């Protein structure tokens, strides 16, 4: 938990919530990363299994996963390669297209490329290639605001992605053990789903969509499952989607370590499927240990 990324504060909230949930089920928990470097904490504690509650860089980009694999410590969530892919919105977007998923029209602007004018008419979404929690993201119209938004995104990453703003319903699809949970609809009170809208109480309303209703939501669930698989994710992920006015689910990104307090979007979806938050945390630990056992069996039979 914690770690060095711009999402440290949110990671600490996730870590504390997970620690409390696991302790309520009798698990012995050490919190690593709040008061020391993660690597040093791992070497000191040597956990039997690591619950990765690190958001953003270092946590979601494959770095801590590589660190854990070097130490032969089982860990929750996706592996090194899937984590790297998902964290890089540009590489992930290419995988989505290869998998036949719809994505908003977009353009990549390289580190040395001149910004110029917006590539699409109307509002555009400007985002750094490798940040989470909408950090560095802007929704703008007009050339002057567009150039300012690109400059802000470049403060976080040299390479940026510009996409046409897609009107429609903002959804998130949680995937657990490669199967979609109930869809959650996101309704920001004003503007887009910004960092402030995500983490300030009262700025966003969330609605869990009952299963088996509108076909459009089933298509969104299928898109979430396919996006998860297209990146090679393991155990769980959360895919952000715009359900366009044309009824098409447009995939925006996959989060391999989504927020994980009992009020976060993934646990909301799990609760709607009858999985209590502590049991969800235990399940992810069990899946981590199962994968580690499988790896050991593979290595033993080489």
Q: Which domains does the chain show, CATH number per domain?
A: 106-164 (3.30.1490.20), 166-277 (3.30.470.20)
Q: Is the pLDDT of residue 118 over 50?
A: yes
253 in active site: yes
pLDDT tens by residue, 245-271 = 999 999 999 999 999 987 799 999 999
225 in active site: no
Q: Is the pLDDT of residue 298 over 50?
A: no
| From 199, 244, 262, 291, active-site residue | 199
pLDDT tens by residue, 55-106 = 988 999 999 999 999 999 999 999 999 999 999 999 999 999 999 999 999 9
| From 250, 255, 264, 268, active-site residue | 255
| From 59, 136, 253, 268, active-site residue | 253
Q: Is pLDDT larger for residue 119 or for residue 193?
A: 119
pLDDT attached to residue 116: 87
259 in active site: yes
Q: Is the pLDDT of residue 197 over 60?
A: no
DSSP per residue, the chain: ---SSTTHHHHHHHHHHHHHHHHTTT------SSSS-HHHHHHHH--SSB-----STTTSSSHHHHHHHHTT--BSS--HHHHHHHH-HHHHHHHHHHTT-B---EEEE-TT----S-SSSS-EEEEETT--TTTT-EEE-SHHHHHHHHHHHHTT-SSEEEEE---EEEEEEEEETTEE---EEEEESSSS--HHHHHSTTSEEEEEPPTTS-HHHHHHHHHHHHHHHHTT--SEEEEEEEEETTS-EEEEEEESS---STTSHHHHHHHHTT--HHHHHHHHHHHHHHHHHHHHHHHHT-
294 in active site: no
């Amino acid at each position: 938990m914690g770690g060095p990324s711009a999402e440290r504060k949110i990671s600490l909230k996730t870590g504390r919530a997970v620690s409390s949930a696991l302790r309520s089920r009798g698990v012995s928990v050490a919190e690593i990363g709040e008061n020391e470097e993660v690597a040093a904490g791992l070497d000191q504690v040597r956990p039997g299994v690591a619950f990765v509650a690190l958001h953003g860089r270092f946590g979601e980009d494959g770095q801590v996963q590589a660190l854990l694999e070097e130490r032969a410590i089982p860990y929750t969530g996706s592996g090194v390669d899937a984590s790297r892919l998902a964290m890089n919105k540009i590489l992930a977007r290419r995988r989505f297209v290869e998998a036949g998923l719809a994505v908003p029209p977009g353009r990549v602007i390289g580190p040395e490329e001149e910004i110029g004018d917006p590539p699409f008419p109307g509002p555009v979404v400007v985002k750094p290639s490798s940040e989470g929690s909408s950090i560095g993201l802007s929704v703008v119209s007009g050339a002057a605001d567009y150039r300012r938004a690109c400059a802000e995104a470049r403060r976080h990453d040299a390479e940026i992605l510009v996409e046409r703003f897609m009107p429609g319903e903002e959804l998130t699809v949680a995937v657990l053990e490669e199967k979609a949970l109930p869809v959650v609809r996101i309704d920001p009170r004003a503007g887009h789903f910004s960092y402030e809208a995500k983490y300030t109480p009262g700025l966003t309303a969330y609605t869990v969509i009952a299963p088996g209703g509108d076909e459009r939501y089933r298509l969104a669930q299928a898109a979430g499952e396919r996006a998860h698989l297209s990146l090679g994710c393991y155990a769980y992920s959360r895919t952000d989607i715009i359900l366009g006015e044309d009824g098409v689910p447009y995939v925006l990104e996959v989060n391999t370590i989504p927020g994980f307090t009992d009020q976060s979007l993934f646990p909301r979806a799990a609760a709607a499927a009858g999985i209590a938050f502590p049991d969800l945390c235990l399940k992810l630990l069990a899946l981590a240990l199962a994968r580690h056992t499988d790896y050991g069996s593979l290595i033993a039979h080489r």
